[in-house]
Amino acid sequence: MSGAQRGNEPGTGESDESSAPRQASTPVARRTGSAGRSALRILILEDEPTDADLEQRLLARSGLEFTAVVVDTRASFVQQLAAFRPEVILSDFSLPGFSGEAALKIAQEQCPDTPFIVLSGALGDEAAVELIRQGATDYVLKDRPARLASVVRRAVAEAGQRAERAQLEVQLQRSRRLEGIGRLAAGVAHDFNNMVGAMLNYAAFIRGQAAERAAQGIDKEAWDGVRQDAEQIEGAGQRVIQLVRQLLAAGGQQLVRPELIDLGQVVTGIEALLRSTIGRHIEFQLTLAPQLWPVTADPGQIEQVLLNLAINARDAMPAGGTFSIEMQNVTVDQAERTPHPGLIPGAYVCLRVHDNGMGMEPEILEHVGEPFFTTKPFVEGGGLGLASVYGIIGQAGGTIGISSESGIGTAITAWLPAKPDAGPVRA
Ligand SMILES: Nc1ncnc2c1ncn2[C@@H]1O[C@H](COP(=O)(O)OP(=O)(O)O)[C@@H](O)[C@H]1O
Ligand SMILES: [Mg+2]
């Protein structure tokens, strides 16, 4: 699921080419072919209807699927930038009361990533070049309109690549940040482990001695009290050890015993536990593709991941809902768009969990996975669930994607490198 909704279709809907002369400043929308949701949204700023028409004919003839809105005033241009959210802008050079130059400035403020292509008439090259200098993406001379379609295609493709790179950069920064915090947490965890280990040993020593004295009958009550106090210390120490385990997992530094496993067997092995964890008020759906490829991971850790994800889904759906787990084989190849930025080509088993719970606001989503980041009331070990999920999947060489929309739900996807040729894994 992605929070991004595809754009509103322009309110004017489809318009017949031969319809009555439109009122100036009323945006006119036209769709080509069987253009569906993937049709390119083009905003055309043009006061000369025959020019606007010619541009659309040329684009349509080139096989481009698009939805166009034509505007010819500053007000309607500004309004349609927001309402129509064009993916490319075609702008005339001069219009009555407005200009390509002024439109470029507005577009640069409102949607700096949207390609802006200038169509210039009589003024010719020089003026167009000046607009390029000011940041326009490209220009087409009106007396040589044949280039239009290829210019549009190239501008859109390049904008797409830039957007993908930007997304990848954000992703990388995020995983670096998480890695850094995780390492820090794991470093602290190692120290805790040693200190708590010493405390547990001494507490056990006191407990043993107290039990011995009590058994001898000297001051029995007092020694029983000492023994109970020592047991309290040991109990608290054990909880610290648990916490430390999760911290180490968050830092991707838990001791692991990786083996070749079938993720489907791991999940069915704890299916009953997962069901009882989420409770009766939540529907549980498990979809396993047949013959999942083996992956190399520690099965105990994968169980930890699934449990943490199930607990979060339960907490996100206090009034019930559906929690689903899906697993399937996925091949990411060079030519295709990768399903996640930064995912290198190869074979993966894709594990996806989904809930239709409360979801997250973008400010929350930005921080999930950081150790101790939580929006829940204080509990021991709060805010370590997703941190350990990230740590564990990272340690197994996998990649995680998370998408969430407030009020709609959350989907978390992990891609674990698979070994398709390794043969079936024994149960
Ligand atoms: N499935 C989910 N739906 C909505 N919010 C979630 C979900 N999973 C995690 N979160 C948010 O991320 C935060 C961190 O989750 P986590 O690391 O598991 O720690 P905790 O569950 O202890 O808070 C949660 O407090 C919650 O705000
Ligand atoms: Mg949690």
- For ligand 1, atom 8, the nearest C-alpha belongs to 312
pLDDT in tens, 162-213: 888 888 888 788 888 888 888 888 888 888 888 999 999 999 999 999 999 9
Residue 339 CA to ligand 2 center (angstroms) comes to 25
409 lines ligand 1 (CB under 6 A): no
Architecture of 259-422 per CATH? 2-Layer Sandwich (3.30)
Atom index in ligand 1 nearest the CA of residue 357 equals 3
267 lines ligand 1 (CB under 6 A): no
Residue 312 CA to ligand 1 center (angstroms) comes to 5
43 lines ligand 1 (CB under 6 A): no
368 lines ligand 1 (CB under 6 A): yes
40 lines ligand 1 (CB under 6 A): no
Label each residue of the chain as H, E or C.
CCCCCCCCCCCCCCCCCCCCCCCCCCCEEEECCCCCCCCEEEEEECCCHHHHHHHHHHHHHCCCCEEEEEECCHHHHHHHHHHCCCCEEEEECEECCEEHHHHHHHHHHHCCCCCEEEEECCCCHHHHHHHHHCCCCEEEECCCHHHHHHHHHHHHHHHHHHHHHHHHHHHHHHHHHHHHHHHHHHHHHHHHHHHHHHHHHHHHHHHHHHHHHHHHCCCHHHHHHHHHHHHHHHHHHHHHHHHHHHHHHHCCCCCCCCEEECHHHHHHHCHHHHHHHHCCCEEEEEEECCCCCCEEECHHHHHHHHHHHHHHHHHHCCCCEEEEEEEEEEEECCCCCCCCCCCCCEEEEEEEEEECCCCCCHHHHCCCCCCCCCCCCCCCCCCCHHHHHHHHHHHCCCEEEEEEECCCEEEEEEEEEECHHHCCCCC
Q: What local confidence, expressed as pLDDT, does residue 363 receive?
A: 92
Most informative mutation of 246, 363, 368 for ligand 1 (most atoms within 8 A of CB): 368
Q: What local confidence, expressed as pLDDT, does residue 335 receive?
A: 58
- For ligand 1, atom 18, the nearest C-alpha belongs to 385
Q: What local confidence, expressed as pLDDT, does residue 23 receive?
A: 40
| Residue-averaged pLDDT of the chain | 87
Q: What local confidence, expressed as pLDDT, does residue 176 receive?
A: 84
Identify the nearest ligand to the CA of 406 by its number: 1
382 lines ligand 1 (CB under 6 A): yes
Architecture of 28-143 per CATH? 3-Layer(aba) Sandwich (3.40)
Q: What local confidence, expressed as pLDDT, does residue 128 receive?
A: 81
387 lines ligand 1 (CB under 6 A): yes
pLDDT in tens, 221-241: 999 999 999 999 999 999 898
Residue 279 CA to ligand 1 center (angstroms) comes to 17
Q: What local confidence, expressed as pLDDT, does residue 54 receive?
A: 92
Q: What local confidence, expressed as pLDDT, does residue 24 receive?
A: 42
Atom index in ligand 1 nearest the CA of residue 358 equals 4
Quick check: pTM over 0.95?
A: no
Residue 386 CA to ligand 2 center (angstroms) comes to 6
Q: What local confidence, expressed as pLDDT, does residue 94 receive?
A: 86
Q: What local confidence, expressed as pLDDT, does residue 300 receive?
A: 93
Residues of the chain with confidence (pLDDT) below 70: 1-37, 122-124, 335-337, 380-381, 426-427
386 lines ligand 1 (CB under 6 A): yes
Q: Percent of the chain, pLDDT > 70?
A: 89
120 lines ligand 1 (CB under 6 A): no
364 lines ligand 1 (CB under 6 A): yes
Q: What local confidence, expressed as pLDDT, does residue 379 receive?
A: 75
